[in-house]
Amino acid sequence: MEEAAIVQRHPLERGRNLYALVSPGHHHHHVICRQCGRIERLPGCDSSRIEAAARQRGFSDLTHIMEVYGTCPTCLKKSHV
Q: Which listed residue (6, 36, 50, 62) binds Zn ion by CB under 5 A? A: 36
Which residues have a Cβ under 8 Å from the Cβ of 31 and sit 6 or more positions away?
Answer: 39, 40, 42, 67, 68, 69, 70
Residue 46 CA to chain centroid, in angstroms? 12
* Contacting range for Zn ion; rule: CB under 5 A; set: 5-13, 16-24, 32-40, 51-59: 32-40
Residue 74 C-beta: closest distance to Zn ion, Å: 5
Distance CA 48, CA 42 (A): 16
Q: Which listed residue (45, 50, 53, 62) binds Zn ion by CB under 5 A? A: 45
Residues making contact with Zn ion (CB under 5 A):
33, 35-36, 38, 45, 47, 72, 75
